């Protein structure tokens, strides 16, 4: 942690300033404490300040993702190209040059739910003069992100990592020019409440980019909840063992490379007529069995497990999600089978 970050960090409940104990001579802090005037103390470990309450860290969804990031330390590198291209398309940036132009005047950026730090790393690379904060409740995600950044970027600018909960953000209201919350907010206990918490930290005229899972057809929704109910009490490793067979099924159907034509709408099941790749039809309408041939088996299996294992996995219709932005200017809107993306400006 850099001492200069104290200009932006506050005590989450009171918004009061923080002071640092045990800083190094060069102004960086590897281990120490942040202390508020009223006595609240927040530990700094491995250069990462931690504001997450123990009861939050003990929640099943937080533990699930913490275990995921601990197990798959190369997820960021292995999936970065695929997910970056998808991100650029969904939020209306087009390509990396488009995102770079967008970030030119964004001096303070928050990546909320940074995970292994893929989006934050892209922001830092494309906007090196900006200050980028990445927050997550999963401690191992941040540790992995920090180690990845040191290995990949070396002495180049890096994201400032903070162990924090979206509901208790250690930043003053109206601070950020841009907040990114991609593939995260649906894993909070109350996504709409979490969205409002993020919105408070955005300045008027600032922009937010949010993605939520979309409600699927009838059989797929049933299967998702059926599997989740049966594996949620085990560890993430236990979930990987269960989803291994599901991942193998997705791979087998993908390798068939066959298509099927549905001649009529199956309205009662929420399935539209049309021509489908067989694996994609199974994936969207029966059970999630993700398979991307550019990923190794373990990475594909992690993608499936991190869908089925977390207890908090909310899905929305486009109408439900759009209602969040009644008082915003919507700049980009994208609907896909997997989810819905929106980039909007705060009025």
CA distance 99 to 92: 9
pLDDT the model gives residue 146: 85
pLDDT the model gives residue 2: 86
Give the residue among 300, 318, 249 at the shortest CA–CA distance from 279: 249
For the chain, list the domains and their CATH numbers.
Answer: 1-49 (no CATH), 51-214+317-346 (3.40.50.150), 218-308 (no CATH)
DSSP letters for 237-259: HHHHHHHHHHHHHHHHHHHH--E
pLDDT above 70 (res 247): yes
CA angle, 7 then 13 then 15, to 5°: 30
pLDDT digits (tens, 9 = 90+) for 261-313: 999 999 999 999 999 999 999 999 999 999 999 999 999 999 999 999 999 99
pLDDT digits (tens, 9 = 90+) for 311-333: 999 999 999 999 999 999 999 99
Sorting pLDDT into bands at 50, 70 and 90, what band is 153?
low
pLDDT the model gives residue 27: 62
CA distance 264 to 266: 6
Pairing of strands 131-136, 160-163: parallel
How many CA atoms does the CB half-sphere of 93 hold within 13 Å?
Answer: 22
């Amino acid at each position: 942690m850099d001492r200069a970050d104290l200009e932006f960090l506050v005590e989450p409940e009171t918004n009061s300033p923080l002071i640092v104990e045990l800083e190094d001579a060069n102004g960086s802090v590897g281990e120490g404490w942040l202390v508020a005037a009223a006595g609240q103390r927040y530990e700094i470990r491995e250069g990462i300040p931690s504001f997450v309450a123990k009861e939050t860290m003990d929640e099943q969804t937080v533990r699930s993702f913490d275990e995921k990031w601990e197990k798959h330390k190369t997820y960021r590198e292995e999936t970065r190209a695929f997910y970056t291209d998808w991100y650029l398309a969904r939020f209306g940036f087009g390509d990396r040059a488009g995102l770079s132009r967008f970030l030119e005047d964004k001096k303070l950026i928050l990546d909320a739910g940074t995970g292994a730090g893929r989006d934050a790393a892209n922001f830092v690379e494309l906007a090196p003069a900006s200050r980028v904060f990445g927050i997550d409740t999963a401690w191992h995600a941040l540790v992995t992100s920090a180690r990845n950044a040191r290995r990949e970027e070396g002495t180049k600018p890096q994201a400032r990592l903070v162990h924090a909960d979206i509901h208790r953000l250690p930043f003053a209201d109206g601070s950020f020019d841009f907040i990114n919350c991609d593939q995260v907010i649906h894993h909070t206990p109350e996504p709409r409440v979490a969205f409002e918490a993020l919105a408070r930290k955005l300045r008027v005229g600032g922009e937010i980019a949010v993605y939520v899972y979309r409600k699927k057809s009838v059989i797929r929704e049933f299967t998702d909840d059926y599997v989740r109910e049966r594996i949620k009490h085990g560890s993430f490793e236990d979930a990987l063992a269960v989803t291994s067979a599901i991942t193998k099924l997705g791979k087998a159907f993908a390798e068939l490379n066959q298509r099927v034509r549905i001649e009529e709408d199956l309205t009662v099941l929420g399935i539209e007529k049309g021509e489908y790749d067989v694996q994609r039809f199974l994936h969207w309408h029966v059970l999630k069995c993700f398979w991307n041939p550019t990923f190794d088996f373990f990475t594909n299996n992690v993608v499936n497990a991190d869908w089925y294992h977390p207890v908090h996995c909310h899905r929305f219709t486009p109408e439900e999600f759009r209602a969040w932005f009644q008082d915003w200017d919507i700049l980009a809107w994208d609907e896909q089978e997997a989810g819905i993306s929106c980039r909007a400006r705060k009025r």
